[in-house]
Each structure stands twice: as C-alpha cells, then as structure tokens.
Amino acid sequence: MKTTKWIIAVIVAIVFYAGTMIVRSEDAKAAKPKSYPLDTCLVCGMKFGDMGKPYVFVYKGQEIKVCDKSEKADFDKTPDKFMKKLAEAEAKLKK
C-alpha cells in the first residue's frame, strides 16, 4: 500500500513538472520580440556598422535598434513618432 502511494506521488510530480515545462516554453516563444527589419538607426537614420554595434532594446514587443543610449532617450521622449516611422519603413520594404 505504501509503495502504491509512493508510485502515485512520483507520477503526479512528473506530470506536474512536464506540464510546467510546456507552459514555460510556450511563454518563452510568446515573449520573443518582433525582429528589427532595418539596417539603419530608427532615430537618426545612420547605417549600422559605421559607428559600432547598435544599442538594442524592446518596446511593446518590437525590437528597436538605435546608435547609442542617448538616442534611446530621444526615442523615449516620443516613442509613437518613431513607431510610426518604423511602420512606414516596414511598409516600404514589403512593396
């Protein structure tokens, strides 16, 4: 009888752990931001690579790349303006 309870407890623990891992992997997939489609800075328009690696951050599920942290500060002042600029640039790329 004790062996049966122990086996059931182990099975329940395994099922619980497996279910938790499935949920975590689905959350990780859902949390992946949309990739940045441009090869230029969203704020100043300079091509990346000319001045080093871009500063990368995520805004509302969208990956954003700018030249440096000071340009992120500019982005933070008027994010809607830059998100509109990104949407327009994406639309041009799709044509």
Tokens encoding 86: 């990104």
pLDDT at position 52: 79
pLDDT at position 21: 59
Torsion (CA) 82, 86, 88, 61 in degrees, nearest 10: -110
DSSP conformation letters of 4-71: HHHHHHHHHHHHHHHHHHHHHHHHHHHHPPBPP--SB-TTT-PBTTSSSSPEEEEETTEEEEESSHHH
Per-residue pLDDT of the chain (95 residues; tens, 9 = 90+): 677 777 776 676 676 666 665 655 555 556 799 999 999 999 999 998 877 789 999 999 999 999 999 999 999 999 999 999 999 999 988 87
Handedness of CA 31, 91, 74, 49 (dihedral sign): positive
Asked whether 78 and 95 are in contact (CB, 8 A), the reply is no
